Structure 1
Amino acid sequence: MSQQTLTTSSPSDTSTAPVARRKRRNKHRPVWEEEPTPLGAAGKGVVLTCVVLVVLFPLYTVLLTSMSTQAETVAAGGLVTVPGDLTLNAYREILSGGIVTRAVLVSTGVTAVGTLLSTVVSILAAYGLSRPRSFGHRPILFVFLITMFFGAGLIPTYLLVSSLGLIDSYWALILPGAVSAFNVLILRNFFMGIEPAVLDAARIDGAGDWRILGKIVLPMSRAAVAVVALFYGVSYWNAFFNAV
């Protein structure tokens, strides 16, 4: 009789136990992990829509003002919010002289070449500094760290560029800032996070440093390399005073 009671009561116990455990887990679950209510989902949609409108409204006014006539711009107080007679005369006037077009081409070329060069040099430096047995990696790393806290300033930088004969040269916009110690350290830390057993296995199979870097390290570090390349690209594109 006792065995029958145990066997008949055990299914009910096993069926109610997960429910109780789920209730306990839901009780201690953070609020952001719960399913949103219809009101909460609607509120999030309204907030995100308002944020997008706040961001896009200045862009809309600038674009509309650039495509409006001078009379409409003056009548609107400098910023046109209601479209009227649209014209492209301002863009034709700007692009007809060739100055803006050449400036855009120079900025694009400097950004592309500088980003490529800086990314390649930073990858090579970071890989060398990430190898514990590499020659002089500790003193070189210390020099990199010093440049993060102490900068020469504008005048020493100009004197250096002038002594190298780079005045009135496009390389003057690329070489002085070709390497960022911060980006090198980001890549170095990422490279050091790769499992050493993978690199040791490749060495045992006869792979050299160039092959390990190209076939193993870089494919496993695409995200870090993309972030560093983005940092360099934005830095070169926004480098306005270097040309002066």
Structure 2
Amino acid sequence: MTQRETKARLLAAYDQQLRTDAETPSALEVTEHGPLRLATFLGGRGFITYRDLGDADEQSVRRLVEEAVGYFQAKPEIIKVEWKTRGHDHAPGLHEALLHNGFTQDDPESIMIGEARALSVDVPLPDGVTLRQVTDEADVRAMSAMQDEVFGEPVSDEMADALLRRLSLDDSMELWVAEAEGHIVSAGRLEPVPGTDFAGIWGGATRQEWRGRGIYRALTARRAQSALVKGKTLIHSDSTEFSRPILERSGLLKVSTTTPYRWARG
């Protein structure tokens, strides 16, 4: 099979298996509106996704955007909304309609997919660095704070609270960290997707002074090994330009792009 054929096969599996309620495992509420899935999360967060928009034209796309914004505007507890777009979708006029309705565009990310066994390799760690899975509240909050700092965001309880809620639901999510000298220097989570071949690797972050030493690769390999134990054969991730080259070297392929658009109340 050529690489082009492999990419097409992986992208078809992504569309068929992941663009369902698999995208919103911790949502408080999910409402279907035409092809759209409108999800509400803790912390006043809204999320809009869909498998596809069918044969929608520009007029119907504009109407869908307006109706989705109206839905969340009518929920006073919602303070921000993300609309998740994919580069391979047929969605005429979507970019313009989102901007017209108050969304701002984030940087695009690469949709990476590959065989879990390609990632499941032995990666040597620097001296003094260890990997472990965390579940205790103090560890989860320390992990979340480190990720906020690495991503240049104010340290907040929002993500930690959401992760702790998911751990309480026992939905098979795993949180993994790399530690050195008693401090978390890298972290990421594994999200096996029930009823599919997939597990997602998310939230990968490494402190700048610890980059380039193979720690993120080792953390990724350990998550892939755990995915295989759970019977998951495919790994997927939305990757920034920092992590994409690492995943490509491990055998994952870029099959498309995803770009978030964000709306904030007021």
Query: Shorter-chain-normalised TM-score: which range?
Result: under 0.3
Structure 2-normalised TM-score? 0.22
Larger Rg: 1
Of structures 1 and 2, the one scoring higher in RCO (CA 8 A, sep 6+) is 2
Higher-strand-fraction structure:
2
Higher-helix-fraction structure:
1
Structure 1-normalised TM-score? 0.23
